[in-house]
Structures are given as C-alpha cells and as structure tokens.
Chain A
Amino acid sequence: MDFPPIALLGQAVVNGIFAGAVYALLGLGLSLSWGLLRQINLSVFAIALSSGYLTYEMSSRGFDILLALLILPPLFFGLGVALQWGLERFKVASFNSLLITFGLTIIVEAVLQLIWTADVRRVESHYSDIKLRFADLFFPAPELIALALAVAVSLALWQVSRRTDIGKAMRAAAEDPAMAAAFGIDQNGLALILGGVDAAVAALGGIGIALVYTLAPSQIYGWLGVVFACVMLGGLARPLGPLIAGCAIGIVEALTMTVASPSWAPLVSFSLLLVVLLARPGRA
C-alpha cells in the first residue's frame, strides 16, 4: 500500500477537525445536562435536527443562512427551558429522562417527516462556493463557520463555568445538591437556564449540520453513537471535553479513511473509545 501524500494527510486532519466541531456542538448539551443535571437528554438530537430543518427552510425561502444564528438559538432556548420545566415538574429520574427524551425524539422525527417528508434535504447556499486555501489545504466556509461556532461556544461555556457565579453555582449544585441548597442556590432556576442553554447549543449544532451535511429525519439516530463517544471521551460537564474529544475522533476517522479504508472509520473511532474507557474507567 502506497503511503498517502502529506497534503492528503493534512487535508484529512483538517476534515477531521471540521467533523469534530459538529460532534462537539451536538455533544455539548448532552454532556452538560448529563453531568450537571444528571439527566440524559436525548432530545438534543431532535432539537438539532429541528434546527437544521428550520435552517433549510429559511435558506430555501431566500434568507441568508446565517440569519438562523440570530433566530434559532433563542427560540430553542425557550423550548429547552420549557422541556426542563416539564422534567422538573414531574421529578423525572436520571434513567427515566433518557426514556422520556428518547420518546420525544421519536415524536419529533415523525413531525419532521410529516412536514418535510423523509426525503434527504440539502441546504444550497452561496457559502458552499466560498473556501480558503493555504498551500494544498482547503478550508470551506460552511465548515469554518461550524468550527468557529463550536470553538466560541465551548470556550464561552468553559469560561462561564469557571469564572462566573452562575457557573460555580451550577457545579456546586451538581457536586452536592443539599449543601448547595443550604447556601441558597436556586437549583431549579439554574436547571431551567441550563436546559435552555443545552437546547440553544443543540440548535447551533443543527445549523452546523445543515451547513455541512445533508438532512433526513432518520439521521437523528445516525449521530447518536459518535456523539455519545465524544461525550464519554470528553468527560461529563466539561465544556471543552466534547470539542477536544470530537476533534480527536474526527481526525482518527478521517485519517483511517485516508490511509486505510473509509469503511474502517467507525470501527477505529469506537475502538479508541473502548481503549480510553478501559485505560481510564473513571473518566466519565
């Protein structure tokens, strides 16, 4: 087997980072709700696909796709707050949250199919024709936008969790709810905010999917495995975790596709997850 040229390997690394950015946007909400609220919120996938479809709809009606960045995150923030309120109202336990949000995801899939049919959709925008080039490496604009979003959101949430009172309060509530309550931390209020933030980030992930990939209602489940792997590798409630783990998985997948065979990519990335979990069982 001939070893691929350096430019090809370089492009594979770049492609892997781009893929990792989308994984990160999808995984961030899941990681935070799982780590801080002890809720396995699968509805982030439904929210992401819904956001992707709304982006598609806006684009097909002639709106600039970036307008979605202004409209959709606040919209889904509200929905996230409402969902979180419902979960709290009915005191949904950790495992049950997985079942309920999975059920919601199935319902959303059916609604998406009802509105947009099961056809695969693809956003056509002028951004697809824009790309930067450095030496032999190409940086398409849609992927750069998704990467910029992932980096900005991950860094912002990391800073919020480390440096602000609200971030510290959230971490304290996750660490020891009783003690946090004794210090007057409003856990329900914080949970509502976090639920909203998770949904808003998932909406950004949906915009990223619409920019870079295709859309089909059944794709909701196609993202589950690799995003779970990112969350587990990156560690729960670590805002930078999904980005770092996502890029690592993305790069490994892309290099596998380039050096060996594209069909080996999922095998290698999940093997990586197994190795890390076996080597560091306390990671999550």
Chain B
Amino acid sequence: MTSFNRRDFIATVGSLAAIAPLGALAQKPTGQPIRVGGSLALTGGLASLGLIHKLVGEMYVEQLNQRGGLLGRPVEWVLKDDQSRIDLTRTLYEQLVNSDKVDLLIGPFGTGAILSAMGVAQRYNKAIVHHTFGIPELAKYDQQFASWALGASPEVTMPKNVLDALGSVGKTPKTIAVVTSKFPSVQFIAIGARKEAEKRGIKEVLYLEWEFGNREFGSIAGRIKAADPDLIWVGGNALDGNQLLDALKKIDYQPRNHFHQYPSPGPLAAAPEGNNALTVTIFENHSPFTDTPAAAAFAKGFKERAKAANLPYTEPETQAAASYAAWQLIEAAVTATKSIDDKTLSTWLRANTVETVAGKLRFNGPNNTGDDLNRIKQVQGGAWKTVWPAAYATSGTRLIAN
C-alpha cells in the first residue's frame, strides 16, 4: 500500500466516523486498553486553554472507541493535571512512563510544558505527539511531532504572511511599531517581524518589550500614539492585545492596522476596538476548513461541548484544532503500522503526510517540521473572518486595511 493509499484509508475512516453513528458499523473494541498518557493544565494560569484540550481529547477518545478503538482494542486516556507548572509536567510524564506504564504519550500544550514532557519522552525513547509548541527550533528530539503546523521558522513565515496579506490589498505598511511581551514563544516571532519589515524597507518607528503579565499599557499606548505607525505588530498573549487597544482608546487613538500574535479570540472579537484586528489561525468553522466530513464533525462536536461546558468562546479554532489533530496523528500512525511501538510510529510519521483538521501535516523538515499552515483572520463586525489567502477566506470577505 502506498502512503497515498494509507492516507486515503485514514481519511475514509475519519470521515465515516464523522458522518455515521458507527456503533453499529464498528466492532466493539475488546481486550486490554491501549493507554495514551498525557498532562494538561487543568488548573492554574493556563487552565482556560487546558479545558479546550480536555474537551477535544474526551470527544476524540469517545468517537475513537465508538468506531472500534485502535487495533481493535479500546483506548484509555490517562490524563493528569500539570497545574500549569513546567516542573510538575516533567514529574507527571515520568509517572506516566514508569508508574502508569502507558503505551503512548500525547503532549501537554504550550511550549514550556511540551519541552518538559519531551525531555522525559527522549529519556525513555518514547514517541510524543503534542499540540501547540511555539519554538520549533528547540524541538531537537527526533520522536516528537507537533500538530500545530508552524513550519520550521515561524519567525520568518508569520511576518511574511501578514505583510503579504496586507500587500494583497495594496496596503503594505510604510511604518511599523513592534511591541511585544517577553514571553519566549512570542518574542522571537516579533523580532522576526522587525527583520522582515527591514527587508521590505518598512520603517520601524517603535520597538518595545514588556514583561509577561504586564498590566499597565497606558504608557505603551502613549508611545504608540506618538509613533503613529501604519501597522502595530502586537506580540502578545491572551488579553494583552485587548488591554493595549483599550489603553489606546483611552487616549483617542485608533490604530490603522494591528496584528496580534496569540490573542484570546473571543474577547478581542467582542471588543469594539478589536475591529480589524488581524491574527493567525489553522482552523475556522467554515469552508474550506470544514470541507471534510471529519472536520465538519469536529467543528460541530466541539461547539456543542464548548457550549455545554460554558466556555466563553465556543468556536473551534487553533487550540482545539491542534488538539484534535494530535489525536488524529496517533490514530493514523497506529492504524497504518498496526503497531504501538514508538520507533515504528515515529518512522511512519516522518515518512508520511497525514490529513488532519489542521491541514496536511508532514514531519520531514528540520526538527520534524513541515509547512506553516497558518492563515490570516480578521475581526470584522464583531466576528473572526478568515481573510488570507483568498482560497481560505470566509465567503464574501476581503481583508480590510487602512
């Protein structure tokens, strides 16, 4: 069977699972469960994101067992709470390998936690699939696989994509202000934005850094207003962007164009001053992202569970899609190789492309990276709309730039 045929097979399995109640079609899994172990930040500072990953994991394992599990065996998810602590993550993965004796590892999310888990996986030669790792060049272990397709050099590709997107509507900025948190996975991309801007002859009128967790954005806003750039590149996490825009509003300044690296999508879309904000995404709840039955079912299933769990933002996007794709990678590799041997799975993943809800993932680049599959989306009328590239744009939507 060629790798193409294997992919076809996997896609078919996923699609069937999505569109049919497969309880009747699939054999009920029997025997010893295949145990997949991992941790998530279920409490602590990152718990809001952890809940998204938990909902997705529960949904996936439930669906997987309904359609026959893996290799005819049920799948059990051994989930531990890393409390958003990197030090604890390491201990928990040691436990998962040595004490719980799980068959397979799935990562936590977030760069720091993943690095911790990766170190343990490497020590025991275990394969590890993980969700949202932000600094690909740090992932040196050859049996690690990231489901968030950032590419090998997001510090190059992300700024390039953003500036190309603005250029596509004839609004390449002449001046840029790069303001960024010192959070590691954010800052290096912001620095990449400076380099890309310089390469394109865009004048940098301001560069500022703040400590992660900064509350006071008034002075930063004042300096942005004084610099008055065509584009503000906000290297921020979560509500940094909201707070900055709020501070700008308080001094009567409306940015012409503003890009936010990793914002909390709900609050930024809901804030009036968030209008026209740009960011990146690997999945949105519309065509062509949802064109496969598996992706459509994922979007529908996540939305339902997110509503039931009372999440403030119920649309599936990057975090949820990366999480779902991680499980898809495990299922694809195990199904194709009919094995749960770590080396076998790793060899297969490095040699094949896997169709996931987050796009076609491959791992044959440096540090097992593939393509940067991020698209650009924008807040328009209080909702996120994909605006670039045109093939992925929300129907009837065009990037708005000033």
Whose C-beta in chain A lies nearest to the C-beta of B220?
A262
Whose C-beta in chain A lies nearest to the C-beta of B182?
A263
**Binding-face segment, B43-51, B65-73, B154-162, B377-385:** B43-51
A201–B208 Cα distance when bound, in Å, is 35
Query: Closest approach, in angstroms, between the C-beta of A18 and any C-beta of chain B?
Result: 7
**Binding-face segment, A5-13, A154-162, A237-245:** A5-13
| Residues of chain A with a CB closer than 8 A to B47's CB | 113, 117-118
A140–B267 Cα distance when bound, in Å, is 21
Whose C-beta in chain A lies nearest to the C-beta of B216?
A19
Whose C-beta in chain B lies nearest to the C-beta of A257?
B219
| Residues of chain B with a CB closer than 8 A to A133's CB | 252
| A168 at the B interface (CB under 8 A) | no
Does the CB pair B223–A4 fall under 8 Å? yes
Q: Which of B66-92 contact A (CB under 8 A)?
A: 84
A18–B218 Cα distance when bound, in Å, is 10
| A222 at the B interface (CB under 8 A) | yes
| B315 at the A interface (CB under 8 A) | no
Does the CB pair A263–B209 fall under 8 Å? yes
**Binding-face segment, A44-52, A76-84, A176-184, A212-220:** A212-220
| Residues of chain B with a CB closer than 8 A to A265's CB | 210-211, 214, 216
| A266 at the B interface (CB under 8 A) | yes
| B312 at the A interface (CB under 8 A) | yes
Q: Which of B306-320 contact A (CB under 8 A)?
A: 310, 312
| Residues of chain B with a CB closer than 8 A to A117's CB | 47-48, 51, 310, 312
| Residues of chain B with a CB closer than 8 A to A218's CB | 44-45, 84
A216–B237 Cα distance when bound, in Å, is 14
- Contact string, A1-36, partner B, CB cutoff 8 A, digits 1/0? 000110010011001001100000000000000000
Does the CB pair B48–A120 fall under 8 Å? yes
Number of residue pairs A-B, CB distance < 8 angstroms: 99
Q: A214-B239, A262-B208 are in contact. Are A118 and B45 (CB under 8 A)?
A: yes
Does the CB pair B214–A262 fall under 8 Å? yes
Instruction: Please pick, from B48, B209, B238, the residue contacting A261 in the complex, using a CB distance under 8 A.
Output: B209
Instruction: Please pick, from B209, B267, B312, the residue contacting A262 in the complex, using a CB distance under 8 A.
Output: B209
A133–B226 Cα distance when bound, in Å, is 17
Instruction: Please pick, from A15, A122, A140, A266, the residue contacting B242 in the complex, using a CB distance under 8 A.
Output: A122
Does the CB pair B46–A118 fall under 8 Å? yes
| B192 at the A interface (CB under 8 A) | no
Q: Which of A106-158 contact B (CB under 8 A)?
A: 110, 113, 117-120, 122, 124, 128, 131, 133, 138, 140
| B172 at the A interface (CB under 8 A) | no
Does the CB pair B216–A253 fall under 8 Å? yes
Q: A131-B250, A138-B252 are in contact. Are A263 and B44 (CB under 8 A)?
A: no
Query: Closest approach, in angstroms, between the C-beta of B204 and any C-beta of chain A?
Result: 14
| B63 at the A interface (CB under 8 A) | no
| A187 at the B interface (CB under 8 A) | no
| Residues of chain A with a CB closer than 8 A to B223's CB | 4, 8, 257-258
A5–B84 Cα distance when bound, in Å, is 42
A184–B198 Cα distance when bound, in Å, is 76
Interface size on A, residues (CB 8 A): 36
Does the CB pair B213–A222 fall under 8 Å? yes
Whose C-beta in chain B lies nearest to the C-beta of A2?
B226
Does the CB pair A140–B250 fall under 8 Å? yes
| Residues of chain A with a CB closer than 8 A to B251's CB | 11, 138
| A254 at the B interface (CB under 8 A) | yes
Does the CB pair B43–A113 fall under 8 Å? yes
Q: Which of A226-240 contact B (CB under 8 A)?
A: none
Does the CB pair B218–A15 fall under 8 Å? yes
Does the CB pair B239–A261 fall under 8 Å? no
| B246 at the A interface (CB under 8 A) | yes
| B343 at the A interface (CB under 8 A) | no
Instruction: Please pick, from B46, B220, B267, the residue contacting A122 in the complex, using a CB distance under 8 A.
Output: B267
A253–B48 Cα distance when bound, in Å, is 30
| B292 at the A interface (CB under 8 A) | no
| B243 at the A interface (CB under 8 A) | yes
A18–B221 Cα distance when bound, in Å, is 15
| B288 at the A interface (CB under 8 A) | no
A258–B225 Cα distance when bound, in Å, is 12
A213–B43 Cα distance when bound, in Å, is 22
A266–B212 Cα distance when bound, in Å, is 11
A213–B215 Cα distance when bound, in Å, is 7
Query: Closest approach, in angstroms, between the C-beta of B302 and any C-beta of chain A?
Result: 17
Does the CB pair A11–B44 fall under 8 Å? no
Q: A120-B238, A138-B252, A263-B209 are in contact. Are A15 and B44 (CB under 8 A)?
A: no
Instruction: Please pick, from A15, A120, A258, the residue contacting B264 in the complex, using a CB distance under 8 A.
Output: A120
Query: Closest approach, in angstroms, between the C-beta of B234 and any C-beta of chain A?
Result: 13
Which residues of A line the B interface, CB within 8 A? Answer: 4-5, 8, 11-12, 15, 18-19, 110, 113, 117-120, 122, 124, 128, 131, 133, 138, 140, 213-214, 216, 218, 222, 253-255, 257-258, 261-263, 265-266
Q: Shortest 10 CB-CB distances between A and B: which pairs?
A: A118-B47, A15-B218, A257-B219, A262-B210, A119-B48, A218-B45, A140-B250, A263-B209, A258-B219, A118-B48
Which residues of B line the A interface, CB within 8 A? Answer: 43-48, 50-51, 84, 182, 208-211, 213-216, 218-220, 222-223, 226, 238-239, 242-243, 246, 249-252, 264, 267, 271, 310, 312
Q: Could you list 25 A-B pairs, sorted by A, with CB under 8 Å?
A: A4-B226, A8-B223, A11-B218, A11-B222, A11-B251, A15-B222, A117-B48, A118-B43, A119-B264, A133-B252, A214-B215, A214-B239, A214-B243, A218-B44, A218-B45, A253-B216, A254-B218, A254-B219, A258-B223, A262-B208, A262-B214, A262-B216, A263-B209, A265-B210, A265-B211
Q: A119-B312, A222-B215 are in contact. List 9 more A-B contacts (CB 8 A).
A: A11-B251, A12-B219, A117-B312, A118-B43, A214-B242, A254-B219, A257-B220, A261-B208, A261-B209
